[in-house]
Structure 1
Amino acid sequence: MTTIELDEYGAAVTVLLPDDVGRVLAASRIVEAAPDPYRPGGWRLRAGGKVGAVALRAPGHSPVTLRIAPKVPVARLFFLIGYAADPRVHRDGEVSVAEREEVLPALAQGFERSLERALRQGVLQGYRYTEEAAPVVRGRIREAEQVKRHHGRAFPVEVAYDDYGTDIMENRLLRAATERLLALPRVPDGVRRRLRHHRGRLLDAQPLTRGIRDLPQWRASRLNLRYQPALRLAETVLRGSSMEHADGRVSVDGYLIDTHKIFEDFVCVALREALAEHGGRSALQARGVHLDEAEAVRMRPDLVWYGNHGDPRAVADAKYKAEKPEGFPEADLYQMLAYCTALGLSDGHLVYARGYGPSATHRVRHAGIRIHQHALALDRSPAELLSSIASIARSMVGGAGTA
């Protein structure tokens, strides 16, 4: 077996790979992959913003395992995930992954512990609205559907009713995340054994349809409070890139998570919490923002802070890594300028991970607009990270004003 170790956004390395494996890596965009012109059979690999592990198998060749380590410690990565999921529970101990050095084992362990706590008082039950064709009348008869589908026949009967039991969306999500992890390699044996036990308790919940693009929605309430940390982690598990590929020659199996999304979710939620102390309200992925007067060009800033009278007071965008596409080198600044112009604000705020973006303030000529670039050091302790976020929030409040 060949094992390749890469670092997130690290230097490119050249490794000997079967051409089929190299081409699959390049096509799947797991990493940047291209043949090395100076080394026959060599492929230059460079990791981007996805971290985790995948295994590739080609006929006639030994398996290749590719591991991509995050820039920040795994425990800190899971603090970011945990805080974005539920700011009320943001201690490292809630996810308890400090002893794990790889992403997937840590994620599986953290989810299993959250799931065990969620199920400790029993499997949650609730009402689920159901529409079906049944042999007996139950609940309300759907008369229009009965006529349209059965053309005057008495049975089956199209009915709608509320069913009380464990087949509710919360349990469906937990079951789906459990089964996703059980299907992946590198989940520790002890964690895998406990996940199988939890899955047995959730079997009355229907499995989610494979290949769905958007996760089913659930609503946080007092009734599912003990489930919420596990549900947030379940969404993280299900939104990760589960690599399953087979083209007849090369099979790919593994799991990757996007550090860009983790960082951006953390920054937005943490800023929202910090700004709450200053009044007003914060909108994440703000709607109703348009670039033009005809409202034909919609924009979705990561966070807009509104005053007590509903007027926009500040805008922020989280960028894990500075965006510099060829021919458009300062895309982030142009985007923030558009946000400030459309919202009528004199200040805009870009938040980067330190090392991937600079700290600076830019005054835009003839516009009266300042764009602030903040750099967040992710290797700091949770308390220091939240203190830095609070400082950014204060600068947003202090600079709030119209252009």
Structure 2
Amino acid sequence: MTSAPTSASTVELVEHAPARSVPLADAVGRALAAGRIVDAAPDPYTPGQWLLRAGSKVGAVAVTVPGGGEPVTVRVTPKVPIARLFFLLGYSLDPRGSWRDGEVEVAGHQDLLPALAHAVERQVDRALRQGLLQGYRATEETALVVRGRIREAEQIRRHFGAAIPVEVAYDEFTTDIAENRILRTAVERLLRLPRVPRDVRRKLLHQRARLADVTAIVRGQPIPAWHPTRLNSRYHRALHLARAVLDGASADYAPGGLHIDGFLFDMNKLFEDFVTVALREAFRGSVRTARLQDPHHLDEASAIRMKPDFVLYEADDVPSAVVDAKYKAEKRDGYPDADLYQMLAYCTALGLREGHLVYAKGNAAHAAHQVRHAGVVIHQHALDLDQGPAGLLADIATVAQRLTATPCV
């Protein structure tokens, strides 16, 4: 554990780094712990200080203290380069969209939130350059004239015996459609986040003005569905990034009047999504079928559920390979044994003689363990996230080749 001086209003942490002792109000420390933003506990040796340790969530959150005091910002820096993080994100969102280093502009930003805000603003600007997309939206309202069709049941229930007003339903051609609402809400979200540079914030305000007639999604409401088509193709990349902003783990815990607002990427999920999507792409066009988060049961009574990250099926719908992705580096004493036990359970339930664990980094590119009396081999693969996209995808291709050699029991 290390301790370093820090401002009472800003706490700088690094993903999976040793804990830091920082001066912090007890209410703020409890809020960070309750929101599972970082591991937080009072420092037993220094009154008034808290031990904070970042896990796999990276980004920044601001804790607003009641009474108008200055917010406390907690910033967690990822260990992987920002450009690499955006490649993992972009590829998992849209693997056939040719995401590569430089495809998502980060303008040299070395911090996650400034880079994300800049990237989203640039993509929104490109999407709206030809004007706002329009489309039909189903609308129901109370009107003084008939438009579309009359909702007879609602008319009787609300206005029995009256000719007006009229309950009507119609399709309206408008800019207030799902695609624009998602972009507007993502822009609003970024404008509320801490550490967005002034020049980027100014450009985001410009994008919000372009979307002024579009309704933002209220917090807690489901994000409206959109479907990629030729007509909205110029929106695709912006929508993928906007959805990442809206899906980011945002804390909203407010004990004692505290409010937390921020954006956090879960590197565990990001790595898992990249590995499984990349493996699925590796088998696209083959006779095999890949299923992500594939539900199964360990026992005959179907009481013990399990959900491997990736299961590969042959043409006859028989499982041929199973993979679990683990965002953790190999330590001096090796990977956690629990991962091996979990994979052995998967292999047993699926009737496979081999299973595959894929880690973010390791001391060797590949290792294999023969399980005694079981006839099962568990492979451990390591991807080096420090290498470029071409190297990462080449490593995924190597893992995919090993999967095709996996025999069934």
Counterpart in 2 of 1:326?
none
How is 1:124-143 mapped onto 2 (pairs within 5 angstroms)?
Answer: 124-143=133-152
The residue type paired with residue 69 of structure 1 is T
Asked if the contact 1:340–1:347 (Cα under 8 Å) also holds between the matched residues in 2, the reply is yes
The residue type paired with residue 241 of structure 1 is A
Q: Does 1:374 align with 2:381?
A: yes
Q: Does 1:171 align with 2:180?
A: yes
Whole-Å separation in 2 of the counterparts to 1:285 and 1:120: 38
Question: Post-superposition shift, 1:249?
Answer: 6.1
Whole-Å separation in 2 of the counterparts to 1:322 and 1:336: 17
| Selected match of 1:104 from 95, 113, 116 | 113
Q: Which SS does the other structure have where 2:103 is aligned?
A: helix
Question: Post-superposition shift, 1:162?
Answer: 2.3
Give deviations 1:357-403, integer Å, cap 9, x for gaps. 9953233344333222211111111111111111111111121x322
Asked if the contact 1:85–1:229 (Cα under 8 Å) also holds between the matched residues in 2, the reply is no
Q: Which runs of 5+ in 1 are unaligned?
A: 324-328
The residue type paired with residue 265 of structure 2 is I
Asked if the contact 1:320–1:356 (Cα under 8 Å) also holds between the matched residues in 2, the reply is no
| Selected match of 1:78 from 73, 86, 109 | 86
Q: Does 1:66 align with 2:96?
A: no
Counterpart in 1 of 2:400?
393
Asked if the contact 2:107–2:118 (Cα under 8 Å) also holds between the matched residues in 1, the reply is no
Q: 1:145 to 1:299 in 2, by over 3 A?
A: farther
Counterpart in 1 of 2:408?
402
Whole-Å separation in 2 of the counterparts to 1:176 and 1:61: 27
Whole-Å separation in 2 of the counterparts to 1:254 and 1:121: 31
Asked if the contact 1:10–1:47 (Cα under 8 Å) also holds between the matched residues in 2, the reply is yes
Asked if the contact 1:270–1:386 (Cα under 8 Å) also holds between the matched residues in 2, the reply is yes
Counterpart in 1 of 2:241?
233
Whole-Å separation in 2 of the counterparts to 1:365 and 1:148: 71
Q: Does 1:44 align with 2:59?
A: no
| Selected match of 1:338 from 304, 327, 345 | 345
Whole-Å separation in 1 of the counterparts to 2:253 and 2:300: 46
Whole-Å separation in 2 of the counterparts to 1:331 and 1:217: 38
Question: Post-superposition shift, 1:234?
Answer: 0.8
Counterpart in 2 of 1:256?
264
Please say which of residues 33-42 and 250-259 is displaced more in the overlay.
Answer: 250-259
Asked if the contact 2:289–2:315 (Cα under 8 Å) also holds between the matched residues in 1, the reply is yes
Q: Does 1:285 align with 2:293?
A: yes
Question: Post-superposition shift, 1:322?
Answer: 7.9
Q: Does 1:275 align with 2:283?
A: yes
Asked if the contact 2:83–2:102 (Cα under 8 Å) also holds between the matched residues in 1, the reply is no
Q: Does 1:319 align with 2:326?
A: yes
Asked if the contact 1:322–1:332 (Cα under 8 Å) also holds between the matched residues in 2, the reply is no
Whole-Å separation in 2 of the counterparts to 1:130 and 1:349: 50
The residue type paired with residue 54 of structure 2 is A
Q: Which runs of 5+ in 2 are unaligned?
A: 1-6, 331-335
Asked if the contact 1:352–1:358 (Cα under 8 Å) also holds between the matched residues in 2, the reply is no
The residue type paired with residue 335 of structure 1 is Q
Q: Which SS does the other structure have where 2:402 is aligned?
A: helix
Whole-Å separation in 2 of the counterparts to 1:170 and 1:235: 10
Whole-Å separation in 2 of the counterparts to 1:334 and 1:153: 70
Q: Which SS does the other structure have where 2:250 is aligned?
A: strand
What TM-score comes out, normalization by structure 2 length? 0.87
Give deviations 1:240-299, integer Å, cap 9, x for gaps. 133455445655443222111211111111111112254422222235x34444555544
Whole-Å separation in 2 of the counterparts to 1:239 and 1:16: 31
Q: Which SS does the other structure have where 2:368 is aligned?
A: strand
Question: Post-superposition shift, 1:65?
Answer: 3.1
What TM-score comes out, normalization by structure 1 length? 0.88
| Selected match of 1:8 from 3, 11, 15 | 15
Give deviations 1:319-339, integer Å, cap 9, x for gaps. 21389xxxxx64433333333
Please say which of residues 26-35 and 304-313 is displaced more in the overlay.
Answer: 304-313
Q: 1:141 to 1:62 in 2, by over 3 A?
A: closer
Please say which of residues 21-30 and 153-162 is displaced more in the overlay.
Answer: 153-162
Whole-Å separation in 2 of the counterparts to 1:357 and 1:239: 34
Asked if the contact 1:322–1:357 (Cα under 8 Å) also holds between the matched residues in 2, the reply is no
Q: Which SS does the other structure have where 1:320 is aligned?
A: strand
Q: 1:306 to 1:137 in 2, by over 3 A?
A: farther
Whole-Å separation in 1 of the counterparts to 2:363 and 2:130: 44
The residue type paired with residue 109 of structure 2 is R
Asked if the contact 1:18–1:61 (Cα under 8 Å) also holds between the matched residues in 2, the reply is no
Question: Post-superposition shift, 1:180?
Answer: 0.3
Q: Does 1:116 align with 2:122?
A: no
Asked if the contact 1:75–1:98 (Cα under 8 Å) also holds between the matched residues in 2, the reply is no
The residue type paired with residue 374 of structure 1 is H
Whole-Å separation in 2 of the counterparts to 1:156 and 1:296: 55
Please say which of residues 36-45 and 164-173 is displaced more in the overlay.
Answer: 36-45
Whole-Å separation in 1 of the counterparts to 2:139 and 2:301: 42
Question: Post-superposition shift, 1:83?
Answer: 1.0
Question: Post-superposition shift, 1:203?
Answer: 2.5
Counterpart in 1 of 2:3?
none
Whole-Å separation in 1 of the counterparts to 2:389 and 2:315: 30
Q: Does 1:24 align with 2:31?
A: yes
